[in-house]
Chain A
Amino acid sequence: GAVVSQHPSRVICKSGTSVKIECRSLDFQATTMFWYRQFPKQSLMLMATSNEGSKATYEQGVEKDKFLINHASLTLSTLTVTSAHPEDSSFYICSARGEGGDTEAFFGQGTRLTVV
């Protein structure tokens, strides 16, 4: 299958600082990228969907000014958690999908964010 690289895999940051998570599709062009958050023992929760070159579409209850998503190219999307707080500590996962709405989405390795 295709490869999606997510970086960093783990990050610890101080409360009030910002953290950027990168998601790259290594061998295909990702026209759509999805960002998910997963709290312990819970299912994946979609935060936002981004299409290359356009603004992300955020799910209800997700603050777009806090979780900044940029999808400037067909191989890179970034999620920036601004002014992080301990309650933002979670597992963040990106997935990428190529052209064609019914194609499989490939997941990045995930990023474990801990805000202290």
Chain B
Amino acid sequence: GQNIDQPTEMTATEGAIVQINCTYQTSGFNGLFWYQQHAGEAPTFLSYNVLDGLEEKGRFSSFLSRSKGYSYLLLKELQMKDSASYLCASMDSNYQLIWGAGTKLIIKP
């Protein structure tokens, strides 16, 4: 079956660094997406990885290991506005997105 696992909730301190992990099992693989979703709003795109390695984009970085079926989203210099849910999604061989349940990130002052 197809499955995406990520932690339900994480807490971090303003100014710190947090890593949100995601493991996936999908029928085929055409890339791994990370989205940010604030409460009551639609998700917004953060990153897309299809090759192994780290992609850095400002304060956010995303890593992929295809052999391990593993990805993480790294958030640096955390700000209060980063409090949101972070959704991991894997694209399968049919180019369909398989979604994780999301990780609720709580930032404390």
A, B bound: yes
Q: A interface, how many residues as a size bin? A: 20 to 34
A105 with B97: CB separation less than 8 A: yes
Q: Residues on A close to B: CB < 8 A?
A: 1, 6, 34, 42-46, 49, 91, 93, 101-102, 104-110, 112
Residue in B35, B42, B97, B100 whose beta carbon sits within 8 Å of that of A46 in the complex? B97
A44 with B33: CB separation less than 8 A: no
B48 with A104: CB separation less than 8 A: yes
Cβ-based interface call for B40 (8 A): yes
Cβ-based interface call for B44 (8 A): yes
A49 with B96: CB separation less than 8 A: yes
CB distance from A34 to the nearest CB of B (A): 8
CB distance from B33 to the nearest CB of A (A): 7
B45 with A1: CB separation less than 8 A: yes
User: Which residues of chain B are near A43, meaning CB under 8 Å?
Assistant: 87, 99-102
Residue of B nearest to A109 (CB): B42
